[in-house]
A and B are shown apart, each in its own frame.
Chain A
Amino acid sequence: SQKIEQNSEALNIQEGKTATLTCNYTNYSPAYLQWYRQDPGRGPVFLLLIRENEKEKRKERLKVTFDTTLKQSLFHITASQPADSATYLCALDLSGGSYIPTFGRGTSLIVHP
């Protein structure tokens, strides 16, 4: 069956360090992968999208990598701040550019001052 895996345990890091979150998937051939941020009681907010033919994408302090061989995406936040504390969700299409992304359960990031 198709599956998306994100660490269920919260990631705790110190302010200023780089946070790295992982999204693994099985039995998918996604055309793209997205990362969203979600704060408690709020809707997800889009951060970055990376396509299958892209290895890496950056936006300010954020960096996403996409390895279609390993079936893995890594999401990095450099120079992390307490305001970065939130749940980060990865989402990908089932195959071939579907308009319906499937979401992982998300990983909670806690940045300590």
Chain B
Amino acid sequence: GAGVSQTPSNKVTEKGKYVELRCDPISGHTALYWYRQSLGQGPEFLIYFQGTGAADDSGLPNDRFFAVRPEGSVSTLKIQRTERGDSAMYLCASSPGLAGEETQYFGPGTRLLVL
């Protein structure tokens, strides 16, 4: 595709509900990242995939957060039992995943609001 896409662009949910956020990376990019960004802050790392596997999930704040990338392309970030503190912009980025190719290409983000 032309760029990284994320859906939905906005999501409003109620406290305690389950949400899924989707990311379509650039075709051929093996590396995929999820970040969370609060107002006035930089993107905060959540999880990094190389292919289908989670190479580093050390940024996931707790076990309510989970992400998958079953075919090495599209990824879904899943949040269970949402809390008001989960409200933020969720950003996805992809990169070629090769040494010397560290540039990350970000999607437009999903703005999550938990009421």
Contacts and interface: CB of A to CB of B under 8 A. Distances in A.
Main secondary structure of the interface of B (DSSP, over half): strand
A34 B42 contact: no
B109 A105 contact: no
A44 B48 CA distance: 17
B66 interface: no
B88 to A, nearest CB: 13
Interface stretch (B12-20, B67-75, B76-84, B99-107): B99-107
B93 A43 contact: yes
A105 B42 contact: yes
A43 B107 contact: yes
Query: Which of A36, A46, A101, A102 neighbours the largest number of chain B CB atoms within 10 Å of its CB?
Result: A101
B60 to A, nearest CB: 13
A91 B48 CA distance: 16
A100 B103 contact: no
Interface residues of B, number: 29
A49 B102 contact: yes
Nearest to A108: B40
B106 A89 contact: no
A42 B108 contact: yes
A110 B55 CA distance: 38
A100 B48 contact: yes
B43 interface: yes
A41 B108 CA distance: 8
A93 interface: yes
Q: Which 6 A-B pairs have the closest CB atoms?
A: A43-B106, A103-B42, A105-B42, A103-B43, A46-B103, A44-B106
Given A41-B111, A42-B109, A103-B43, 20 more contacts: A8-B40, A34-B103, A42-B108, A43-B4, A43-B91, A43-B107, A44-B43, A44-B104, A44-B106, A49-B102, A89-B43, A93-B102, A97-B99, A99-B31, A102-B45, A103-B35, A103-B44, A104-B42, A105-B40, A105-B42
